[in-house]
Structure 1
Amino acid sequence: MPHDTEARLSATLQGIVGDRPYAPDLDQIESRGRKLRHRRMAWRATAGTGFAAAVAAVAVLTTGTQAPAPNLAAPNSAAASSATAENAPLMNLVGYLTTAPRPEGDATLVLRNQVYTDGLKVAVWDVFADNGDLYFAKTRGALPASVKGKPAGDGDSEAGRKKAVAAAEYAAKGDLNEARKRMALAYVKDPKTAPTLQAPGVKPSGPAIDEKLKATGQDASTVGNLTDNWVWGSSVDALKAGAGSPTVRAGVLRLLGQMPEVKVEQGTIDGQPVLTLAAGALISGGGTDSLTINAETGLPIKYVSESVGVTVNYTVTRVTLADVAAGRF
């Protein structure tokens, strides 16, 4: 299922640590039952036939000049924080979201408009029920029938998606070290087989790494933190699947704000204040991947991946499954 994004770990990183040891997501759009090739970056793939295209793993927001629905968490101008100058806006937002009330409805409707550098445009709809069920349609008109039927599910990655959302919920107020571990291992089937996890920004090191670098002639400066890669991708998945939850948004932002390679920049889009979180090649595996969110609500607006060549815009609405099934949305 995933409607997330998949880029690739750099050849350097892959040569040292190998592919991520868990089953890949399914290509939701054109062949929902077909497993994607080994994931090389933490973001799930989604798009059209033959593409392991990117679909931002964020699922929230009203784009353009339209104000986000109040029940998705209105901004709190009084929020304060002692964070660093760069991360202060992010931490202010986290502080507000951790106390925001749960929104109305029992599901979140996400429209993903994806534009690829080759000109291809793909628009798809997801309905994420608060109980973890997923419904999918290629058109708005097909959503009622989809919701009336069985949940779409997402194969082997369904359990991982739910674990990622749970990890984000825990991260909102829990211990960040434990939250990072849970998020990094969300998609790992057998944690016993997972490599040793690393702290944010820490470069992998040790005799085995040094030996492989020497044998391949690779530069240690190009080797990123694989745990950061996993946390980045799984957090984006969680943000998409848990888009309607202020708690999930808070947890994701806390985790991403931990990583020194994630840079935060303030700006505006169509008059609304935004924060852009950019992950460079040491996390993405190639090029810069960025996530833009509304600076007052944490609702994702846009995901851009240089490594995949895609821009994904999001429109997110809180709904009830009953209303969607009846065509009232």
Structure 2
Amino acid sequence: MDEMDLMKKMRDVPSPRPEAYDRARTALSTAMAEPTATVVRPKRWFSWPKAGVAAVGAAAVATAVVMGTAGGTAPPASPVAAPQVVDSPLVKLASEVKAGAQPGDASLIIRSTIAPDNSPYVVYTVYTDKGQTFHGDSAKTLSASVAKGENQATQYDATVMAAARLAANGDLEQAKNAMVNVSIGWALGQSPAEQEKAWAQRQEATAEVYRLKGLPVPPPKPRPTGKELEDGVNNALWSNTTYALFIGAANAEVRAGVLKLVATIKDVTIGKTDAEGQPALTLTAGPALQGGTGTHVLTVNAGNGLPIRSEVIPAPGSDSKPSVANYKSSRVNLADVAAGKI
């Protein structure tokens, strides 16, 4: 049974709040070793269809996504290639991004996409350089949220942002370990015993999801090795770095770190295209990095690395629907946002 099968069995549960839907979907995907394109949505929103994942519960969500960082110095039990200095256009672009940092104390990200009921919607996110996060479904509600001090930052936000900054300014291997280890089960850079413990926690998180719904618990899986381990690690790296980009893109350090980390994933292919009349790069994470469920294509501006478009293409024969999100990013001052100057 995969994530979508489990979700289908939950249709009798009342509609969840948007943020509960996303967190539960992330928990399911993480616990079951399946990818997800993390979406940030504001507190105020429309009623969702009965996707049924609200009943997964806060305990399962907290267990399935661990807000941790790498530690220890022992080599991994199952070796995973350390990041290498590669001849990638992303590395050069990362250097240019850092050198061209813009004034302001926060990132404003405007995300446009289509809701499950096929209506268009927009999400406004401000991520401050101090680590605060504010959401709104319009410029007005975003300004109100900032003015009221409704900081919605999570430990997950803080951890992935710190890992991105480390990649921009410090040890790339340590940064990769920190970014991957946000997702439960990997414990990169830690001892074999710690890695086995982390994997056991991942299996228990999976089992808890099934138990909460009264479904048969699948047998635990052994910690992967070889290419399967590499793909799992890179799935976590891709998911966590793109999330950091999607809420903190206008921060030069975050963006540069994300670009450098993505450049270490050898199975991400880089292409050239035009977007909004400007040269752009397409970063494609294929089925191997998506658990075989499809392909994720991220389009970024070739001159500054800002995200333009994110497209998820389901695998042939899948009953999942394709999704597209468009992004606008800029540097702002938080005081201006609170005053309605967006």
- Shorter-chain TM-score tier: 0.5 to 0.7
Give the direction of change, closer, same or farther, for the CA distance of 1:240–1:163 in structure 2 (3 Å limit): same
Aligned counterpart, 2:309? 302
CA contact (8 A) 1:111 1:125 kept: yes
- Aligned-residue offset at 1:126: 1.0
Higher mean displacement: 89-98 or 227-236 = 89-98
Specify every segment of 5 or more residues in structure 1 that has no aligned partner in the other structure, as ranges: 1-7, 12-28, 54-81, 197-206, 212-219
Q: Which amino acid aligns with 2:297?
A: S
Q: Specify whether residues 96 and 52 from structure 1 end up closer, same or farther in structure 2 by C-alpha distance, changes over 3 A only.
A: farther
Superposition pairs of residues 1-329 of structure 1, within 5 angstroms: 30-32=17-19, 35-37=23-25, 38-40=27-29, 41=35, 43-46=37-40, 49-50=48-49, 84=87, 87=88, 89-101=89-101, 103-115=102-114, 119-154=118-153, 158-188=154-184, 192=194, 193-195=197-199, 208=222, 225-285=231-291, 286-307=293-314, 309-329=322-342
The 1:208–1:254 alpha-carbon spacing in structure 2 relative to 1, beyond 3 Å, is: same
Q: Is the 8 A contact 2:300 2:309 kept in 1?
A: yes
**Deviation at residue 44 of structure 1 after TM alignment:** 2.1
Partner Cα separation in structure 1 for residue 4 and residue 124 of structure 2: 31
Return 111-120 or 315-324, whichever deviates more: 111-120
Q: How much has 1:328 moved relative to structure 2?
A: 1.5
Please state whether the residue corresponding to 1:266 is helix, strand or coil.
Answer: strand
> Quick one: distance in 2 between partners of 1:139 and 1:45?
16
- The answer for unaligned runs of 5 or more in structure 2 is 6-15, 30-34, 54-84, 188-193, 201-220, 315-320
User: Partner letter of residue 133 of structure 1?
Assistant: Q
Query: Structure 1 residues 228, 165: closer, same or farther in 2, change over 3 A?
Result: same
Aligned equivalents of 1:43 and 1:225: distance in 2? 16
Find the aligned partners of 2:275 and 2:310 in 1 and give their Cα distance.
Answer: 13
SS of residue paired to 1:39: helix
For 2:185 and 2:141, locate their aligned partners in 1 and report how far apart those are by CA, in whole Å: 33
Task: Write out per-residue CA displacement over residues 247-293 of structure 1, whole angstroms, 9 at most, x where no aligned residue.
Answer: 21111111111111100001112320100100001112211101110
The CA RMSD measured in Å over matched residues stands at 3.5
Contact 1:36 1:52 in 2 (8 A): no
Greater helix fraction, Structure 1 or Structure 2: 2
CA offsets 1:38-71 (integer angstroms, 9 cap, x no match): 3312542456724699xxxxxxxxxxxxxxxxxx
Contact 1:137 1:143 in 2 (8 A): yes
Q: Is the 8 A contact 1:117 1:310 kept in 2?
A: no
What TM-score, normalized by structure 2, do the two folds share? 0.64
Residues 280-315 of structure 1, C-alpha deviation per residue, up to 9 Å, x if partnerless? 011122111011100010111010011352111011
Q: Is 1:223–1:282's contact at 8 Å kept on the other side of the alignment?
A: no
Deviation at 1:10, TM superposition (A): 10
